[in-house]
Structure 1
Amino acid sequence: MTQASADRQRLRALPKAEIHVHLEGCFSREQIAGLAQAAGEPLPRPPEDLFTFKNLVEFLGFLDWSCGLVHTEAQVEAMAYSFCCRLSDNGAGYADAIINPTHWPAWRHRLPEMIAALDRGFTAAERDDLPPVGLCLSLLRQQSADEAAELLDMMIALRSPRVVALSIDGNEAAAGRTGPRFADTFRRAGAAGFRRTVHAGESSGPDGVRDAIHLLGAERIDHGVRAAEDRALMDEIRDLGIPLDITPTSNVRLGIYPRYEEHPIERLRQHGIPVSVGTDDPELLETTLVEEYARVAGTFGWNDDVLRTVAKTSIEASFASPEVKRDLLEALSAW
């Protein structure tokens, strides 16, 4: 075994949670080709170039197309089971999986049925000793306040134990400032017992992170990297103890930063901000959770103490049950 292989084996064994991952970005080339064939849809480009994206806009457009291939409950169940296999392969003991209904045209008006199918797939995986999953239902920034309220009303009426949080994602630069539009829905979500996580500080600057904290009551911020441009904001995030779940490969591949060496994750960590590492859309970005840990550790010289701290943040910042967190933290202490 090479040293690189041995290092990745250790990182796979590192107890951790995956808390910034979109189900929409977890279809492999082979799965997409099979879904396209079943739907009678041609691939938009050759398989070897399928995951080549010029920018975030092109990337999000591909998400809409690929998710539009999913039509049956059996396909949804299979997707959920496959996701849990991915978690296990990377040594993740739990995941908060994000799903945005606007990407799934066949399910926008059948969301309870989709959630039930996902639950069946996740439950089958858990019976086979694969990791448990919580669902974070996500708004798209371009939606209206009424659409946001409608999604939350459905979540409250459904009360599925599988649904743990309300999220929001989408292109911040294209949508502009949206925090005020969704503030009431996020306030109601918190009052109803749902956790709140917010994509912010990716394609927008520090102000998006401020709105996530002050208007949306974010308990966790997905990305948040542009906070590094504002020292006062970094101080606030540190003092509030709000974790940032950061996806370095996504930020580099989609043009937020030109190189890993220029990514601010280490500066944010050194500032005392709790950070964890995620994959965002791992298949489309051609990465894995183990690879994310390996790249960042290699780039910034993280030792085992840092790796334990980052993994601990991923577990503590997750929306897993107290029992799952306890077991993962006990395993982490023995790594």
Structure 2
Amino acid sequence: MSWKTYPKVELHLHHEGAAPPAFIRGLAQEKNVDISKVFDERGHYAYENFVHFLSVYEAATSVLRTPEDYARLTRAVLEESAAHGVVYSETFLSPDFCGGGDVEAWREYLHAIEEVADEAEKTLGITLRGVITCIRHFGPEKARPIAVCAAETKGGFITGFGIAGDEGKGKPRDFTWAFDCAREAGLHLTAHAGEWGGPQSVRDALTDLKVERIGHGVRAIEDLALVDELAEKGVTLEVCPGSNVTLGLYPNWRRHPIEQLRERGVKVTVSTDDPPFFHTTMTREFEELERAFGWDAEVFGEITRTALDAAFCDEDTRARIAKKLESAE
């Protein structure tokens, strides 16, 4: 069967990282900004490793300067996601890039994003929610105003808080103030861990930040006691196989641990992370997982329901999306 139209739920998507290269090139030309070095000769994003990827990501993001730019970005991202069957998506947003951490400036960006999201729900049938993230390599002090932005704008659209960026910079415990602030505001919590930081980074995120979900988390497989703990506690992993393979964390799809984690009872989900950077889509993720592990509609149905159960949305939204998923069963 074709997986393209299969209804999907995506929990791990970086808003700027989902920007099509052509969109960023066009915006740079409009603003007379030369970022040609972030593209290769075919017009794709060009980077050499994860740290270089982060710098390319931030260079591409630099042309997004106004709420209107983010409105246009949101439209482009949602059109692409909807084209691959995504009916519910959570996107990582950082007020660092949208107003420099100032709450009032962030509100303007948020209004522009949310307005487009509301329209896309009516016209494209895709529901979007926002998870605000602080940037780890910007440091814990910079994370504080981001958490305040999250707390001040928590509501129907902004439902979660997390941390992304270079796992090699600092420890999760350095960011406890930001996470405590978000938790007290009633936001759901997630954290990138277990991608480059190893299994201990997953433990630290659970212990120090008390998160409900882990972004990536796949390096937990190197510590089976941790794997069993994740399964027992019902922690959901936002797994991005295509991202992990493209960045060289695993040599190929068959060597990716998502199936081992699933077999040991861990709640795993599937997402694209930064799709144009990793030459992937939700359709491709499904196709490659079918090819690598023989996953069928029954398994993908399980994965999708797991994602919806772990989604940072209200129960009315969850029930509405569940009805859309029933069409694939």
* 8 A Cα contact 1:21 1:281, kept in partner: yes
- The structure 1 residue matched to 2:55, chosen from 44, 54, 61, is 61
TM-superposition CA deviations, 1:38-79 (whole Å, max 9, x none):
121221144515323211111111110111001232221111
- The structure 2 residue matched to 1:16, chosen from 3, 8, 19, is 8
Q: Residues of 1 paired with 2:297 and 2:151: CA distance?
A: 42
Residue 264 and residue 292 in structure 1: after superposition, are their counterparts in 2 closer, same or farther (change >3 A)?
A: same
- Answering whether residue 136 of structure 2 is matched by residue 136 of structure 1, we say no
Q: Which runs of 4+ in 1 moved over 6 A?
A: none
- The structure 2 residue matched to 1:259, chosen from 241, 252, 260, is 252
Residue 33 and residue 145 in structure 1: after superposition, are their counterparts in 2 closer, same or farther (change >3 A)?
A: closer
* 8 A Cα contact 1:79 1:121, kept in partner: no
Q: Displacement, 1:208?
A: 0.6
Q: Residues of 1 paired with 2:89 and 2:173: CA distance?
A: 29
Q: TM-score, normalised by structure 1?
A: 0.91
Aligned to 1:3: none
**What's the RMSD between the two structures over aligned residues?**
1.8
Q: TM-score, normalised by structure 2?
A: 0.93
Q: Residues of 2 paired with 1:172 and 1:200: CA distance?
A: 7
- The structure 1 residue matched to 2:166, chosen from 166, 171, 177, is 171
Q: Displacement, 1:108?
A: 4.6
- The structure 1 residue matched to 2:28, chosen from 3, 16, 36, is 36
Segments of structure 2 that go 5 or more residues without pairing to the other structure are none
Aligned to 2:190: 197
Aligned to 1:299: 292
- Answering whether residue 87 of structure 2 is matched by residue 93 of structure 1, we say yes
* 8 A Cα contact 2:235 2:267, kept in partner: yes
- The structure 1 residue matched to 2:152, chosen from 136, 154, 157, is 157
Aligned residues: percent identity? Answer: 29
- Answering whether residue 307 of structure 2 is matched by residue 281 of structure 1, we say no
Aligned to 1:123: 118
Segments of structure 1 that go 5 or more residues without pairing to the other structure are 1-6
TM-superposition CA deviations, 1:258-307 (whole Å, max 9, x none):
11111111110111101110000011211101110110121011122211
Q: Residues of 2 paired with 1:241 and 1:160: CA distance?
A: 25
Residue 33 and residue 22 in structure 1: after superposition, are their counterparts in 2 closer, same or farther (change >3 A)?
A: same
Aligned to 2:308: 315
Q: Residues of 1 paired with 2:89 and 2:311: CA distance?
A: 8
Q: Larger deviation: 27-36 or 141-150?
A: 141-150
Q: Larger deviation: 233-242 or 149-158?
A: 149-158
Q: Residues of 2 paired with 1:333 and 1:167: CA distance?
A: 30
Residue 172 and residue 307 in structure 1: after superposition, are their counterparts in 2 closer, same or farther (change >3 A)?
A: same
Q: Residues of 2 paired with 1:49 and 1:121: CA distance?
A: 27
The residue identity in structure 1 corresponding to 2:141 is D
* 8 A Cα contact 2:40 2:46, kept in partner: no
Q: Displacement, 1:155?
A: 2.4
Secondary structure at 1:48 match in 2: coil
Q: Displacement, 1:16?
A: 2.3
- Relative contact order, higher structure (CA 8 A, sep 6+): 1
Aligned to 1:75: 69
The residue identity in structure 2 corresponding to 1:24 is E
Q: Displacement, 1:112?
A: 2.1
Q: Displacement, 1:160?
A: 4.6
The residue identity in structure 2 corresponding to 1:257 is Y
Q: Residues of 2 paired with 1:132 and 1:331: CA distance?
A: 11
The residue identity in structure 1 corresponding to 2:323 is E
TM-superposition CA deviations, 1:120-139 (whole Å, max 9, x none):
22122223243121111101
- Answering whether residue 322 of structure 2 is matched by residue 329 of structure 1, we say yes
Q: Displacement, 1:334?
A: 4.0
Residue 239 and residue 120 in structure 1: after superposition, are their counterparts in 2 closer, same or farther (change >3 A)?
A: same
Q: Residues of 2 paired with 1:127 and 1:47: CA distance?
A: 38
Aligned to 1:268: 261
